[in-house]
Structure 1
Amino acid sequence: MELSINNSKSTLSVSDAVFGREFSEDLVHQVVVAYRNAGRAGTKAQKTRSEVNGTTKKSKKQKGGGARHGALTAPIFVGGGVTFAAKPRSFAQKVNRKMYRAAISAILSELNRQGRITVVESFDIDGPKTKGLIAKLKDLSVGRRPLIVTEDASESLYLSARNLPYVEVRDVQGLDPVALVGADSVVVTADAVKKIEEWLA
Structure 2
Amino acid sequence: MVKIPCIYENGQIEDIEASESVFGRVYNEALVHQVVKSYLANARVGTRAQKGRSDVTGSTRKQWRQKGTGRARTGAATNPLWRGGGKIFPNKPTENFKQKLNRKMYRAGMCTIFSELLRNNKLVAIDEFQIEMPKTKVCLQKLKNYQLENVMIITSEIDSNLYLASRNLPNLKVVEVDLIDPVSLLAYDNVVITRDTVNKIENVLQ
Partner of 1:143: 149
Aligned residue identity for 2:99: Q
Distance (Å, rounded) in 2 between the aligned partners of 1:132 and 1:150:
18
Q: Within the alignment, does 1:188 sit opposite 2:188 as a pair?
A: no
Pairs within 5 Å for 1:1-201: 1-6=2-7, 7-57=11-61, 71-75=76-80, 76-78=82-84, 80-87=85-92, 88-144=94-150, 146-201=151-206
Distance (Å, rounded) in 2 between the aligned partners of 1:55 and 1:181:
54
For each residue in 1:125-168, what CA deviation from the matched residue of structure 2 results, as whole angstroms up to 9, or x when unmatched? 11221111122222222333x10110112222122121122321
Q: Please, which runs of 5 or more residues in structure 2 have no aligned partner? A: 67-72
Distance (Å, rounded) in 1 between the aligned partners of 2:25 and 2:133:
38
**Secondary structure at 1:34's aligned position in 2?**
helix
Distance (Å, rounded) in 2 between the aligned partners of 1:44 and 1:137:
42
For each residue in 1:49-96, what CA deviation from the matched residue of structure 2 results, as whole angstroms up to 9, or x when unmatched? 23323322356899xxxxx98644344434x32244113321111111
Offset, 1:11? 2.4
Distance (Å, rounded) in 1 between the aligned partners of 2:74 and 2:148:
65
Aligned CA RMSD, in angstroms, stands at 2.6
Specify whether residues 38 and 113 from structure 1 end up closer, same or farther in structure 2 by C-alpha distance, changes over 3 A only: same
Aligned residue identity for 2:20: D
Q: Please, which runs of 5 or more residues in structure 1 have no aligned partner? A: 63-67
Distance (Å, rounded) in 1 between the aligned partners of 2:54 and 2:23:
57
**Secondary structure at 2:196's aligned position in 1?**
helix
Aligned residue identity for 1:33: K
Aligned residue pairs total 198
**Secondary structure at 1:168's aligned position in 2?**
strand
Distance (Å, rounded) in 2 between the aligned partners of 1:184 and 1:21:
20
Distance (Å, rounded) in 1 between the aligned partners of 2:130 and 2:63:
71
| Identical pairs, percent | 43
What is the TM-score of this pair, normalised by structure 2?
Answer: 0.84
Distance (Å, rounded) in 2 between the aligned partners of 1:89 and 1:108:
33
Tell me whether 105-114 or 135-144 shows the greater mean CA deviation: 135-144
- Indicate conservation of the 8 Å contact 2:149/2:171, yes or no: no
Tell me whether 150-159 or 107-116 shows the greater mean CA deviation: 150-159
- Indicate conservation of the 8 Å contact 2:6/2:13, yes or no: yes
